[in-house]
Amino acid sequence: MNAVVVGVLLMLILTLFRVNVIVAMVVAAIASGLLAGLSLTATVEAFNSGLSGGAEIALSYAMLGAFAVAISKSGLTNLLAQKLLKMMHHEDTSDTFLSYAIMTVILFCGLSSQNLIPVHIAFIPILIPPLLGIFNKLRLDRRAIACILTFGLATAYMVLPYGFGGIYLFNILHLNLEENALIIDKSLVPQAMIIPALGMLIGLFVAVFISYRGKREYDTTHINNTHDLNVENQHRVMLVGVLAIVLSLLAQYMSQSMILGGLVGVVVFTVFGVVKWQENQDVFSKGVAMMAMIGFIMISAQGFAEVMKATGHINTLVESTASVIGDNKALAAFLILLVGLMITMGIGSSFSTVPIIAALFVPLCMEIGFSPMAIVALVGTAGALGDAGSPASDSTLGPTSGLNVDGQHDHIWDSVVPTFVHFNIPLVIFGWIAALVL
């Protein structure tokens, strides 16, 4: 049995039975290593060697959490919630209109976070928690919000060559394709990803307008009544808040560091006295507490991925797939996407997975006779698959970090399963179509 397949399936099964994601990844990594013939010591060493790769990510998340807490303490989020509450109580504003208006704004923020203002998931712990009370009053199904956020985080970089999209499409996907002897103009790479992105769009429509259009009740006792909270010096809070967010985004964009971006935001609030100096310790403590689970999951994911590589069974998986394909392009495209799904679900990051699968799939696809555009679509889609539905992906962890502040949004059943069903399945279907028609 292939150790990579066993490891990924075991991790997914354990998480579906509500075993903690970190525990599931550790158990699955050990099982995979032993199955591949590695000793327990070698398996643990491989796991430990991968942990350092997630340290920067974990610290970035903690700093973003501190920034989110600082914004909350400033009262800026209360002002936002109060304005939305006033809209709810306005007789000319229906709940349906307000619900779709909020979802549209969240979708725009998600798309912008990858391309227009490339901050990735930094906006989620800032924007979403203060809106939970509004979601509850409107009885919005948070699974729909999770799908909207994941769509914005994943689809934008798949097809729009700006910000993180430029990094993924040109610096990672196109570069790795060329390094594996595929010659194609990089301007064609975004075009090859349009059909798979259409699959994501259809999945989003199904999630919002069919699967999760119904009302869902949540306990409101854990949500502060922001309507009753009085914010002093509202204009000053608003001005400093906007300044902090702008400078934070600017610092992150210039340095490509979420750590520096979050730090700048906290410092601005402190320097202008909106957050008191003596509250700094509390800000960072609560920020770390808010994002600790996500940070440790990301660290564990790096260890899990390292064990998958150490088994050597990724190559074996591709070789066994190639042996049953023959010259059947339709079967080849499906199996390549399926194998890509397995690999990426385990690693949890399309950016980290593309170099691996490009080295394995490009020679195979060229031998079978796929066109360059079809190969781009196959490799690009295979990379994005895990990002849209892996328990260890920041495209699912990010939404959970904002939606589960009150403990009413389960990471696996309310983020991972909905995004897997509505995005990974359409991605496989439309990636397969793209491979055959391009």
DSSP 8-class letter at 121: G
Q: Are 386 and 344 in contact (CB under 8 A)?
A: yes
- CA 37 distance to own-chain centroid: 33
Average pLDDT, the chain: 80
CA nearest to 404, candidates 257, 303, 297, 260: 297
Task: For residues 316 and 320, give the distance between their C-alpha atoms in angstroms, rounded to a whole number.
Answer: 6
Structure tokens at 173: 């996907």
The torsion of the CA quartet 292, 12, 398, 118, rounded to 10 degrees, works out to: 120
Task: For residues 28 and 19, give the distance between their C-alpha atoms in angstroms, rounded to a whole number.
Answer: 12
> Which sign, positive or negative, has the C-alpha torsion 295, 301, 304, 305?
negative
CA nearest to 126, candidates 272, 261, 220: 261
| pLDDT tens per residue, range 153-193 | 888 888 888 767 777 888 778 888 887 778 888 889 899 99
CA nearest to 312, candidates 320, 300, 323: 320
- Helix spans in 218-279 (H): 234-255, 258-271
Mean pLDDT of 335-350: 74
* pLDDT on residue 212: 93
SS3 119: coil
Q: Where are the domains of the chain?
A: 3-214+229-437
Maximum mean pLDDT: which of 319-328, 390-399, 409-418:
409-418
Task: Report which of residues 156 and 85 the model is more confident about.
Answer: 156
Q: Are 203 and 426 in contact (CB under 8 A)?
A: yes
92-113 as b/e: b if 16+ CB within 10 A:
eeeeeebbeebbeebbebbbbb
Question: Environment class of residue 27 by beta-carbon count within 10 Å: exposed (0-12), middle (13-18) or buried (19+)?
Answer: middle
Mean pLDDT of 75-97: 67
Task: For residues 347 and 297, give the distance between their C-alpha atoms in angstroms, rounded to a whole number.
Answer: 11
| pLDDT tens per residue, range 212-247 | 998 888 887 655 544 444 556 677 777 887 888 788
* pLDDT on residue 431: 92
Maximum mean pLDDT: which of 183-187, 195-199, 254-258, 378-382:
195-199
Structure tokens at 107: 């979708």
* pLDDT on residue 227: 43
Task: For residues 207 and 84, give the distance between their C-alpha atoms in angstroms, rounded to a whole number.
Answer: 24
Percent of the chain exceeding pLDDT 90 equals 16
